[in-house]
Amino acid sequence: MLELTGEQLQLAKNAFHALDKDRDGTLTVGELSDALKRFLSDETVDQIIGKINTDGDGKISWNEFLQDYKNQLEND
């Protein structure tokens, strides 16, 4: 498994906190959707959310977000 550098971890934290508009420590589908729909189609946004929200609870936890971030880095 990929170990993040301090800088990579800080970038992930900054991104997560910027998206967490209500500051509850999770990203709702709405919070993530609002940010992504500026740049991507509704269908693409739904696919991304489905991939990240692995437990299907309608929220993206820090752990889900971080795991997806690591996956993206490994695939680049």
Cα separation, 69 vs 36, in Å, equals: 15
8 A C-beta contact, residue 62 and residue 25: yes
Q: pLDDT tens for residues 18-76? A: 999 999 999 987 888 888 888 988 888 888 888 999 999 888 999 999 999 999 888 87
Q: Is the pLDDT of residue 11 over 90?
A: yes
For the chain, how many structural domains are there in total? 1
**Which residue segment(s) compose the domain that 43 sits in?**
24-70
**Residues 7-28: b if buried by 16+ CB within 10 A, e if exposed:** eeeeebeeebeebbeeeeebbb
Is residue 40 in a domain?
A: yes
* CATH number of the domain to which 53 belongs: 1.10.238.10
Binned at pLDDT 50, 70 and 90, residue 1 comes out as: low
Task: Give the residue, 38 or 6, on which the prediction is more confident.
Answer: 6
Which residue matches tokens 């991104």? 15
Q: What is the pLDDT of residue 42?
A: 82
